[in-house]
Amino acid sequence: EIVLTQSPATLSLSPGERATLSCRASQSISNSLVWFQQKPGQAPRLLIYDASIRPIDIPARFSGSGSGTDFTLTISSLEPEDFAVYYCQQSYNRPPYTFGQGTRLEIK
Amino acid sequence: EVQLVESGGGLVQPGGSLRLSCAASGFNFNYFAMHWVRQAPGKGLEFVGSITTNGGSTYYADSVQGRLSISRDNPKNTLYLQMRSLRTEDTAVYYCVKGGSGTKWDLLEDWGQGTLVTVSS
């Protein structure tokens, strides 16, 4: 089973700052990495797939990078609505897939 | 607009059974793979399983293999999750998720709001 490790567990930043979230895979997964955002009481929302592709309804301040085992989600300038929990998920080969344990992005 | 509405959750005793349903609308249900993902209270996300467009193939997490099974009724635009031999660790919100298009069939693209299953005596 591919294990995903997210860091940090919690990130405290202020609106307007840049956020950098990390996801590391236990083996190479090429670019098969997805990012989700989840706000309290809501379902997760797809942010990034194939490591760096952003769906058309996702703001440009969200970007993803990486390949192999190391991946990054960057939020260039935090908006108040960006404070949430972020999960990475690997989509390598075929299901079943695995998720990281999440990074909580909180207001400093 | 894609809509996915889960139902069937509730309280069940350990060892019991439950069937969840997901009513889909706003897209051509026949053309998309579907998935179930769960989230235990206060915990992270866990993939449960997937089913291809015609139901010909299914995939399951090891933790549910042999106890949970996914099926679909395309004419009724409905996805199902049959749950048997339930354990306390199956307590979670269960999300119905629509897959992506074409080769992105396994992308967890659109999510329902979830239904809570509580396994307790």
The tens-digit pLDDT sequence of chain A (108 residues) is 999 999 999 999 999 999 999 999 999 999 999 999 999 999 999 999 999 999 999 999 999 999 999 999 999 999 999 999 999 999 998 888 999 999 999 999
A99:B61 CB<8 A: no
Q: Cβ of B46 under 8 Å from any chain A Cβ? A: yes
Taking an 8 Å cut-off on Cβ atoms, the answer to whether A89 and B44 are in contact is: no
Half-sphere exposure of A89 (CA within 13 A, CB side): 27
Question: Distance between alpha carbon A87 and the CA centroid of its chain, in Å?
Answer: 5
Give how far Cα A68 sits from Cα of A36, A72, B47, B106, Å: 19, 12, 22, 19
- Supply the pLDDT for residue A98: 96
Q: What number is the average pLDDT over the span B76-96? A: 98
The string of DSSP letters for A73-100 reads EEESS--GGG-SEEEEEE--SSSSPEE-
At A39, the amino acid letter reads K
Asked if residues A51 and A13 have their Cβ atoms less than 8 Å apart, the reply is no
What's the gap in Å between the CA of B13 and the closest CA on chain A? Answer: 25
Contact A49 B60 (CB under 8 A): no
